[in-house]
Amino acid sequence: MLAIMAAALIAIATLSGCSPDARQAALSGAADVVQTTKARRDAFYHERAEHCLAAAETFDAWRECFAPASGLGRAVDVFVDALRAAQEAHDAGEADGFTAKARELVQAAVHVVNAFSTAGLEVPAAVLQVAAFAGEI
């Protein structure tokens, strides 16, 4: 699930010229990507579920087969919760509060990276750059 992570980097980089508020740009860009990729994620979950139905003989085996997908979904939801919390802190205008929420956001982003890794794929360098960027929010 590099996309959610890459969302921050690419969106932030591209959007930096759209607004003087880099924080809002970062948050909105990431949220926008979460939203616009929802249908694709759903399609992926359904494909994976069908694949596991064909491959697994029992429900337990199905869950094991489906674990990378469910891990991904869980990580994305946590990431969204962290985004909302960071937005609230940003709206409150408290620098310290936002910094704390930004740390949680980075942590959630790391979980998304881990979920992607669990799928057995190497995490692209761009994703790591996103994490590094997120750390600077």
Partner 1 sequence: MDVLLKILTEAGPYVKLAFELGVAVIEAAQNCEIHKTVGEILAERVPDMETIRELETRAREHYARRASVPANPFEVSPEKARVLRTLATTSAPTVTLSRADVLRALES
Does residue 40 interact with partner 1 by CB under 8 A? yes
> Least Å distance between CB 47 and partner 1?
6
Q: Is residue 72 a contact point for partner 1 (CB under 8 A)?
A: yes
Which span sits near partner 1 by CB under 8 A: 11-19, 93-101, 106-114? 11-19
List b or e across 2-33, with b for residues whose CB sees 16 or more CB atoms inside 10 angstroms.
bbbbbbbbbbbeebeeeeeeebebbbbbbbeb
Q: In this chain, which stretch among 15-23, 93-101, 106-114 interacts with partner 1, using CB under 8 A? A: 15-23
One-letter amino acid of 64: E
User: For 12-61, what is the HEC assignment?
Assistant: HHHHCCCCCCHHHHHHHHHHHHHHHCHHHHHHHHHHHHHHHHHHCCCHHH
Cα pseudo-dihedral 34, 79, 124, 11, rounded to 10: 50
CB of 135 to partner 1, least distance (A): 19
- 47 binds partner 1, rule: CB under 8 A: yes
Asked if 97 is part of the footprint of partner 1 (rule: CB under 8 A), the reply reads: no
Give the CA distances from residue 37 to residues 7, 54, 81, in Å, rounded to whole numbers and listed in that order. 10, 26, 17
Overall size of the chain counted in residues: 137
Q: How far is the CB of 125 from partner 1 (least distance, A)?
A: 13
| 76 near partner 1, rule: CB under 8 A | yes
Question: Which residues in this chain contact partner 1 in the complex, by CB under 8 A?
Answer: 1-4, 6-7, 10-11, 13-15, 18-19, 21, 24-25, 27-38, 40-42, 44-49, 51-53, 58-59, 62-63, 66, 68-70, 72-74, 76-77, 80, 83-84, 86-87, 91, 116, 119-121, 124
